[in-house]
Amino acid sequence: MSKSARDRASAKRIVEQQKAAARRRRVTIWTSAAVVAVLAIAGLIGWGVLAGQQHDNAGKLTTPSVAVDEGTAFAVGTGPVVVDLYEDFLCPICHEFETQTGPAIKQLISANKVTVRYHPVSILDDKSNGTKYSTRSAGAAAAAAIDGKFTEYHDVLYANQPAENSDGLSDAKLIELGKSVGLGDTFATAVQEDTYDAWAAKATDTFAARGFTGTPTIVVAGKTVEGPNQTLPTTELFTQAVTQAAG
Partner 1 sequence: MGVTTDVSRRTDVWPWVSTVARLGLAAVFGIAGGLKVTDLAASGRAVYAYRLMPYDTAKVVGAVQPFLEIALALLLLIGLAVRFSAGIAAVVLMIFIAGIVSAWARGLQIDCGCFSKGGDLTGGRTARYGLEILRDVGFLLLAGILLVKPRTRFSIDGLLTRWI
76 sits in which H/E element: strand 74-76
Binding test (CB under 8 A) with partner 1, winner from 10, 31, 129, 180: 31
Closest CB to partner 1 among 53 and 180? 53
Asked whether position 18 contacts partner 1 by CB under 8 A, the answer is no
DSSP-based helix, strand, coil % in the chain, nearest 5: 60, 10, 30
Q: Are residues 57 and 131 in contact, defined by beta-carbon separation less than 8 angstroms?
A: no
26 binds partner 1 (CB under 8 A): yes
Residue 173 corresponds to which amino acid?
K
- Nearest to partner 1 of 95, 149 (CB atom): 95
The beta-carbon contacts of 54-61 under 8 Å, at least 24 apart in sequence, are 56/198, 57/198, 57/201, 57/202, 58/198, 59/198, 60/197, 60/198, 61/198, 61/199, 61/202
Would you count residue 201 as binding partner 1 (CB under 8 A)? Answer: yes
Instruction: Report phi then psi at 161, rounded to 5.
Output: -60, 125
The smaller minimum CB distance to partner 1, of residues 11 and 35, is found at: 35
- Pick 115 or 137: Cβ nearer partner 1: 137
Beta bridge partners of 227: 231
Q: Which stretch binds partner 1 (CB under 8 A): 64-72, 98-106, 156-164, 209-217?
A: 209-217
Binding status of residue 15 toward partner 1 by CB under 8 A: no
- By beta-carbon proximity to partner 1, the closer residue of 38 and 159 is 38
Q: Which of 3, 59, 229, 247 binds partner 1 (CB under 8 A)?
A: 229
114-120 β-sheet, strand order:
74-76, 114-120, 81-87, 217-220, 223-224
Structural contact between residues 135 and 201, judged by C-beta atoms closer than 8 angstroms: yes
| 181 near partner 1, judged by CB under 8 A | no
Q: Is 189 in the site for partner 1 (CB under 8 A)?
A: no
Rule CB under 8 A: which residues touch partner 1? 23-24, 26-28, 31-32, 34-35, 38-39, 41-43, 45-47, 49-50, 53, 93, 96, 123, 125-126, 130, 201, 204-205, 208-209, 211-216, 229-232
